[in-house]
Amino acid sequence: MLRMPRRRLFTLGGAALIGTLPAPRIGDPFTLGVASGDPLPEGVVLWTRLAPRPLEPSGGLPPVTIPVDWQVATDDGFTRVIRRGTTTASPGYGHAVHVDVQGLQPGRDYFYRFRSQGHLSPIGRTRTAPAKAASPDSLRFAIASCQAYTDGYYDAWRHLASEELDVVFFLGDYIYEGAINSVGGNRMDSALRLPDTYELETDTLDLYRMRYALYRTDPDLQAAHAAFPWVLTWDDHEVQDNYADGVSRFTTVPEQDFLVRRANAYRAYWENQPLRPPRQPAGPDMSLYRRFRFGDLAHAYVLDTRQYRTDQACGDNLRAGCEDRNDPDRTLLGAEQRDWLLGKIGRSEARWNILAQQIMMAECRYGGPANRLDMDKWDGYTADRRRILETATRTPGTVVISGDIHYNYAADLRVKFDRPETPAVAVELVGTSISSGGDGSDSTPQLDMQRRYNPHLRLANGQRGYVRCELGRDSLRADYRVMSQVTRRGGEISTRASFVSERVRPGLVTA
């Protein structure tokens, strides 16, 4: 075991304060846990953020740069440390720490921890991706999204942490921007008392930072981060509900004002997630779309459907008879990301191509006489959807994974959804929320209606949880794991439905 360290001195402006100045007593700075992410065959990003008083501005730290030691070992006792170093946590970036560890072996587990100010962090476990030339037999992953702190407890994360997974895909709504009352919303048996600043909607950098800190104090969320590397993308609530590129949901807000808020939100996102330094935003721009390879078994394309999209058609929300949604000039991905994606998928030699993104791609008619469609989803951007699905017809093994909507759906994807007799070209697994929406229920009149009006839907369920998946060389299996409750602690998990789909003949079949 590592011996407890000498007290280290703060540094100011990069220069060490020398002499006899004692280090301030700041308390345990690791209240936000640890995380790893963006696994490559030889490396992974390690993350933590120093915050001895996490619910306060600046995490209760003075505006000084603080050194942080890190270690990577092959055992959880840290008897075989194979990488180590010292980095700094700077106040300009909320005392966040990002370590881009390199020189690791492909496809294996590692353990990591940090040390600062006389304190050791919790231990995290991570896993590198398989070698580029490897031919793995399987990839195990989970799909998760939407963890409104105010809507329920994170027992789903605790259950997820005990699964056997190679990687977790988090598909957006890591935080929600709305005001939170002093008792933390619907966490009914909580003894929590939040500072008044949480009753403000997030728009400044400090408020976004404090919002991440509140979420990260949750021990179940910390356990899920510490168990596996995560690959994350955002959806809308990391900035503001249903924003589109530079357009606020409130049309009276000028674009230049909204972009200031977006810059604050993106900066806090970067600070609080295990992302590589090239992802660091410049003002209101942050490049988040990227690819991961898991040998020749799977390539995962992580998409950003918020930053570059055309404003929602026909005034957003549920609409009937909106022709504008089919305008070929409308885009969800933006031309650059779309061309990147189509080029990569079109040339992919992987057995499977995973599109890890935010919003439901399958057509989803809400039924009834109006039979409306949601303009915020791919239904509002049919030109980009058609281009992707046409490419999928030539690319076996396309799997779309989605979040956003707080329901579980399993869907066969077709180029023309009104032709159910035509073969599916891909499958979509829409994962429900971790907590957003509260307990939910297996079925609702709306879900019944959607099943009736959308023959390509194999499942529509309204409980909380996540989707556990395993890709084999020739088939995919998905288990929809659902929670008995989230508004009280101690929710149990069970498998609501399981599906398989063949790589060369896509179509979800009950397992």
CA atoms within 13 A on the CB side of 210: 24
Q: Which of 480, 478, 448 is nearest to 464 (CA)?
A: 480
Q: Is 173 in the site for Fe ion (CB under 5 A)?
A: yes
Taking the complex as a whole, how short is the minimal distance between the CB of residue 299 and Fe ion, in angstroms? 26
Beta strands in 233-316 (DSSP E): 290-294, 298-302
Touching Fe ion, residues 345-404 (CB under 5 A): none
The stretch near Fe ion (CB under 5 A) out of 110-118, 327-335, 419-427, 432-440 is 432-440
The stretch near Fe ion (CB under 5 A) out of 158-166, 309-317, 365-373, 434-442 is 434-442
Taking the complex as a whole, how short is the minimal distance between the CB of residue 376 and Fe ion, in angstroms? 11
Distances (CA, A) of 220 to 33, 152, 154, 155, 227: 10, 12, 6, 6, 11
Helix, strand or coil, per DSSP, at residue 325: helix
Touching Fe ion, residues 230-289 (CB under 5 A): none
Looking at the DSSP bridge assignments, the partners of residue 66 are 89
Taking the complex as a whole, how short is the minimal distance between the CB of residue 81 and Fe ion, in angstroms? 40
Touching Fe ion, residues 188-207 (CB under 5 A): none
Helix, strand or coil, per DSSP, at residue 44: strand
**Closer CB to Fe ion, 273 or 436, in the complex:** 436
Task: Give the H or E element holding residue 213.
Answer: helix 205-216
Contact 488, 188 (CB under 8 A): yes
**Closer CB to Fe ion, 116 or 150, in the complex:** 150
**Closer CB to Fe ion, 146 or 297, in the complex:** 146
The stretch near Fe ion (CB under 5 A) out of 139-147, 241-249, 371-379, 422-430 is 139-147
**Closer CB to Fe ion, 48 or 436, in the complex:** 436
CA distance 44 to 316: 39
Which residue type, as a one-letter code, is found at position 193?
Answer: R
The stretch near Fe ion (CB under 5 A) out of 172-180, 384-392, 444-452, 453-461 is 172-180
**Closer CB to Fe ion, 404 or 428, in the complex:** 404
**Closer CB to Fe ion, 146 or 467, in the complex:** 146
**Closer CB to Fe ion, 176 or 258, in the complex:** 176
The stretch near Fe ion (CB under 5 A) out of 171-179, 180-188, 302-310, 324-332 is 171-179
Taking the complex as a whole, how short is the minimal distance between the CB of residue 406 and Fe ion, in angstroms? 6
Contact 460, 445 (CB under 8 A): no
Contact 345, 338 (CB under 8 A): no
> Which residue do the tokens 């599906």 mark?
499
CA distance 455 to 71: 52
Looking at the DSSP bridge assignments, the partners of residue 71 are 84, 113
Taking the complex as a whole, how short is the minimal distance between the CB of residue 404 and Fe ion, in angstroms? 6
Taking the complex as a whole, how short is the minimal distance between the CB of residue 52 and Fe ion, in angstroms? 30
* Complete DSSP assignment for 379-441: GG-HHHHHHHHHHHHTSSSEEEEE-SSSSEEEEEE-S-TT-TTSPP-EEEEE---SSTTTTEE
Q: Is 143 in the site for Fe ion (CB under 5 A)?
A: no
Residue choice 248, 436, 463, 501 for contact with Fe ion (CB under 5 A): 436
**Closer CB to Fe ion, 337 or 435, in the complex:** 435
**Closer CB to Fe ion, 218 or 296, in the complex:** 218
**Closer CB to Fe ion, 93 or 243, in the complex:** 243
CA distance 421 to 409: 20
Taking the complex as a whole, how short is the minimal distance between the CB of residue 311 and Fe ion, in angstroms? 20
Touching Fe ion, residues 89-128 (CB under 5 A): none
Residue choice 40, 101, 144, 146 for contact with Fe ion (CB under 5 A): 146
252's tokens: 């009276």
The stretch near Fe ion (CB under 5 A) out of 277-285, 326-334, 409-417, 435-443 is 435-443
Question: Which residues lie below 8 Å from residue 191, measured CB to CB, with a gap of 6+?
Answer: none
Q: Which of 39, 212, 2, 11 is nearest to 113 (CA)?
A: 2
Taking the complex as a whole, how short is the minimal distance between the CB of residue 13 and Fe ion, in angstroms? 41
Count interface residues toward Fe ion (CB under 5 A).
Answer: 3
Taking the complex as a whole, how short is the minimal distance between the CB of residue 355 and Fe ion, in angstroms? 19
Taking the complex as a whole, how short is the minimal distance between the CB of residue 465 and Fe ion, in angstroms? 14
**Closer CB to Fe ion, 38 or 173, in the complex:** 173
Q: Which of 107, 112, 229 is nearest to 167 (CA)?
A: 229
Straight-line distance from the first to the last Cα atom of the chain, in angstroms, rounded to the nearest whole number: 46
CA distance 111 to 3: 17
Taking the complex as a whole, how short is the minimal distance between the CB of residue 90 and Fe ion, in angstroms? 31
453's tokens: 């009006």
Taking the complex as a whole, how short is the minimal distance between the CB of residue 145 and Fe ion, in angstroms? 7
**Closer CB to Fe ion, 76 or 241, in the complex:** 241
Give me the phi and psi of 272, to 5 degrees please: -100, 5
Residues in contact with Fe ion by the rule CB under 5 A: 146, 173, 436
